[in-house]
Structure formats: C-alpha cells, structure tokens
Structure 1
Amino acid sequence: MSASSPYGPAMEREIWKIYQEFFDLAERRRRWNMRLDIPWDQCNPNTSHAIADVVESFCAVELFLPDYVGKFLPLVRGTRGRAWFAANWGYEESKHSMVMQEWLVKSGHRTEEQIEEVQSWAVIGEWELPTDDVRGLACYTMSQELATWLHYRNLRLLVGESDPALSKLLMLVATDERAHYDFYVKILKLHLADDRAGTIEQLKRVLNGFAMPATHLLADSRRRVAAVKSLNIFNEDNFYAEVYQPILLALGIDKQEMRNRAAVRKSIVTP
C-alpha cells in the first residue's frame, strides 16, 4: 500500500475499473444538455410557492460545492478512480444547481437579483468533511446520494404533469444522483470484502447520525427544513424505508450485523 493511497494495488485497479464503467455509461446514456433537453417553454408560473421554496433550498445547498469537492479531493487524491469520480461528480452537481436556478427564473418564481441574493447569503459558513476516514466518507456519500435521489424523486411525484419543465429536470437530476449512489455501492462492496467489520462500523455511524450536507449552514435553515417536511418529501419514515433498508439490501448486510437499529436517528435533517 503506497503512502499516498489508502488502498492496495489490487483494490486500486478495481476502483479504477468501476469508475471507467461509471463514466462510459454516463457518456452513452446519461449526459444531458441544460439548454436543449428541458422544455423551458412549458415552465408553469403557477407552480406552488412551497415547491419553489424547496427548489431554491436545493440550489442553496449546492452552493457549497467548492467545499464538497475541495475537502473531498485531498482525502482521495492518491486513488485515481475516486479522485476522477470526485471531479466528475463536481461537474454534474454544478449542472444540478444551474438547472434549478434556471427554472426558478424562467418560471417567474425568482428574479436574477433574488438568485444573486441567495448566492450571497447561503454560504455563511464553511462546510467540513463529516469524517477523514476513506471508508466512512464512502459510506456517507453513498447514503447522501440515495437520500438526495429520494428528495428529487418525491418532489417530482408531487409536481406531476403540472410543470413539464420542472418534472423533466427533476428526472434528469434524480437519475444522476442514482448513478452516483450506484458507484458508491460498488466501492463499499470492495471495502466490505477487505474489512467487513470495520466497514459496517463506519456505516453504522453514518446511518445512525445521518444528516443532509450543509443544511445547518443555510440562512433561515429552520424554515427550509420545515418546508421540505411539510411537503412530505423526506422524513424519518421514508429515510428508514427508502435509504437505510435499501442500502443494507444492496450491500448484502444483515440487520443483525448493524445492531442497535433503534438508534437510527429520529431527527433527520433535510435541506
């Protein structure tokens, strides 16, 4: 194992292979164009203000992207597969922020000046890594990507066909988030094969204390969390049913291995 990488050569090769497969699939089937692939002429200015507030909150969380990428990359710099994924992830997340801001303006829910104001006050603190353990970080990011997918999927179900532009962009963004989750599931399977007990311990810490990133750093964060909960986009019940349990199933982890299931937090923090 090299001083610059937490992995041995065999695992390094496997991680690079996983990234190549992820990238190739994205290039063939998942890339989309913000200007051309959204029916912007079908934005609905009558979409509820509550939904617009939630979309704005999602945008605000994405404004911490420089922290996410800047803090993550040094930890995985010596592992090409994870470092290259982080760079790709940053690109895709920047598109997510931009496309949602575009909808807010084109739908008439926000002006350009209001978007600039959000950009100025949203980043009122610096986001910090939840852990400096590479396994723990993989556990956290995997869980966060699935939870984010769930947010977007549920918001899209709520929107339905009432706003074709918002529905389409939420579908594209959710598909990206699901692909990110799938990448980390494969990474975690490598970690489980290498050190099952240690990896499960890291996963327990993440799932039992899970919170979406940077929400506590947002101005007016309590109101924004309440807005998400009021629309039933994300709560304790669907976290357990659609994040916690699916992760265990995907990784082949028995509930008994996790133990202390009752310790799963009952105060999920959302954007």
Structure 2
Amino acid sequence: MAVTVPDGPALNAGIWKLYREFFELAERRRRWILETDVPWDQCNPNTPPEIADVVESFCAVELFLPDFVGKALPMARTVRGRAWFLANWGYEESKHSLVLQEWLLRSGARTENQLEEVANWAVVGEWQLPQDDVRGMTCYTMCQELATWLHYRNLRLLLGNTDPALNKILSLISIDERAHYDFYVKVMKLHLADDRAGTLEQLKRVLNGFAMPVTHLLADSARRTAAVKNMNIFNEALFYSDVLVPILTTLGIDKAELRNRALQKKSLPPTTPR
C-alpha cells in the first residue's frame, strides 16, 4: 500500500506557488481545442501503418488514465499544489488520448470497432504506483514526463510534414508534456533543498530501474516496445543521452555525486513491483 510522507509547511507552500504559476501560464499560452486547433482536413490516409501502430500504442497507454490519477491522488490529497496539479494533468492527458484517437479515425488508420477493441483489452491489467511516497513519485514522474516528451518529439521528427494534422497533434502534445516535466523539475529542486541526501538516493533508485508506465500490460507489449526501439523513438541509449543527462544537468547534480551517494540513516521505503 502506498504511504504518504508529509511535506513540511514551507515545501507545501512552495509547491502551491509552483502550481499557480504552472496553471496561469497554461491558461495564457497552452490551452488548445481539439476541433479547431488541428488541421483535420490535412490528415494523410497514406501515412505509413507503422506510424499508426505507434500512435495506437500511445493511445493504449493513455487509457490507463484512471489508474494514473486514481492511485496518485490519495498520496497527494493533503498537499493542495500536488493534488491540484494531478487534476489538471489528468485533464490534459485526457485531451491527448482523445486527439490521438481522433487522428486514427479521421486518417482511416483505424475504425471505431478497432478502437473499441483497444479500449477493451488495454485496461485488463491494472497499473500500480512504481514508488510508494510522494518524493519517490516526484522523481519517477519527472523522468517519465521527459521520456514521454521524447517519444512524441521523435515520432514527430520521423513523420516530418507528410501528415500536417498528425504533426500538429504531436506538437501540441509535446508542448504539454514538456510543461509537465518543467513543473516536476521545479518540485524536485524544492526536495533537493529540503533533503538533498534523501532525494538523491531516491532519484538514484528511480534512474537505475526506470521503465515507462504500463508498457508491460499492453497486448503484444514486446512487439510494441520493439517497434518504438526500431524506429529510434525511444531506447536505452536515448534514455541516457536525452533523459538522464539533461535531468542531472538541470538539477545541478554531478554523476559522481549520484553514483557515490551512500544510504542515509533514515531508510527509504522500498519501491512497489511494476
């Protein structure tokens, strides 16, 4: 069962301030409308089927949204900034799922019945939290948001301008994912200032065992993961160069400091199985 390690008042106040800044910036610059902000008349029915397969995999991951939000909220409910961010995050992720499904339909890559089949098998398994306290989840989600942004960015680079509608969709989603990552980076900096040793130990655990969420629960998970790797959208080398290294640089953490960090007196709770 997930446990909650309460934040101190100063940390709570700092997270609330970060959420207000995040929300106000989103309202001014990032909000987009599915029907009017995508050039749907420019969907390309000849977009390669392997691109559609990857988009379908992204959709399937998004279908676990009830698990992502429902399991994380109880851990964060007493900290307003964390809880309000999760509610906003759930709203934005639901838009991502909707717009990707809409492209699959309007491009002719999938039918309504095929998407209904995906919706049925995708949620047979139940996703569990990969960490069992709020600091561990902050470490994990920061990494996951940057990795997710990387997936969308690289798929967009691979696609180019061959499908203007999908290109625009991937751009909109990438901007959202980058904003989520930026929020968690700022929260991580608060954690490092509050307890650098404990936060570094937790971050090391997350980085050493990181995996994208729910991919092992998807039907044909091995095939879907292989497709993403083969198309050079995401793999171990990209995780190191485009996720791990930028995170350490942004947080001002030297790799030697992370590698040599000894476990402190206060033991950290174990991670839950994926």
Q: TM-score range by the shorter chain?
A: over 0.9
Question: What number of residue pairs does the alignment pair up?
Answer: 258
**1:72 equivalent in structure 2:** 72
**C-alpha distance in structure 1 between counterparts of 2:13 and 2:133, whole Å:** 20
**2:56 equivalent in structure 1:** 56
Work out which structure has the larger RCO, using CA pairs closer than 8 Å and 6 or more positions apart in sequence. 2
Q: Verify: 1:128 aligned to 2:128, yes or no.
A: yes
- Give the percent of matched residue pairs that are identical in Structure 1 and Structure 2: 74
**C-alpha distance in structure 1 between counterparts of 2:188 and 2:105, whole Å:** 39
Does the aligned pair in 1 maintain the 2:149–2:178 contact within 8 Å?
yes
**2:268 equivalent in structure 1:** none
Please state how far the C-alpha of 1:143 moved relative to its aligned partner.
0.3
Matches within 5 A, 1:182-221: 182-221=182-221
Does the aligned pair in 1 maintain the 2:5–2:134 contact within 8 Å?
no
Q: Deviations over 1:208-260 (max 9, x none)?
A: 11100001111111111111111110011111000000000111111111117
Please state how far the C-alpha of 1:75 moved relative to its aligned partner.
0.3
**AA at the equivalent of 1:228:** V
**C-alpha distance in structure 1 between counterparts of 2:183 and 2:234, whole Å:** 23
**C-alpha distance in structure 1 between counterparts of 2:220 and 2:242, whole Å:** 27
Please state how far the C-alpha of 1:92 moved relative to its aligned partner.
0.3
**AA at the equivalent of 1:167:** N
Does the aligned pair in 2 maintain the 1:149–1:177 contact within 8 Å?
yes
**AA at the equivalent of 1:121:** W
**C-alpha distance in structure 2 between counterparts of 1:208 and 1:148, whole Å:** 18
**1:249 equivalent in structure 2:** 249
**C-alpha distance in structure 2 between counterparts of 1:193 and 1:20, whole Å:** 20
Matches within 5 A, 1:11-26: 11-26=11-26
Does the aligned pair in 2 maintain the 1:54–1:228 contact within 8 Å?
yes
Please state how far the C-alpha of 1:64 moved relative to its aligned partner.
0.5
Does the aligned pair in 2 maintain the 1:192–1:199 contact within 8 Å?
yes
Q: Verify: 1:164 aligned to 2:164, yes or no.
A: yes
**C-alpha distance in structure 2 between counterparts of 1:173 and 1:55, whole Å:** 12
The 1:45–1:260 alpha-carbon spacing in structure 2 relative to 1, beyond 3 Å, is farther
**AA at the equivalent of 1:170:** L
**2:106 equivalent in structure 1:** 106
Does the aligned pair in 1 maintain the 2:5–2:133 contact within 8 Å?
no
**2:266 equivalent in structure 1:** none
**AA at the equivalent of 2:55:** V
**C-alpha distance in structure 2 between counterparts of 1:138 and 1:153, whole Å:** 22
Please state how far the C-alpha of 1:132 moved relative to its aligned partner.
1.1
Q: Runs of 5+ in structure 2 lacking a partner?
A: 262-274
**1:39 equivalent in structure 2:** 39
Alignment RMSD, CA only? 1.2
Please state how far the C-alpha of 1:5 moved relative to its aligned partner.
6.9
**1:174 equivalent in structure 2:** 174
Q: Deviations over 1:85-137 (max 9, x none)?
A: 00000000000011000000000000011000100011121100001111110
What SS class does the counterpart of residue 179 from structure 1 fall into? helix
What SS class does the counterpart of residue 151 from structure 1 fall into? helix
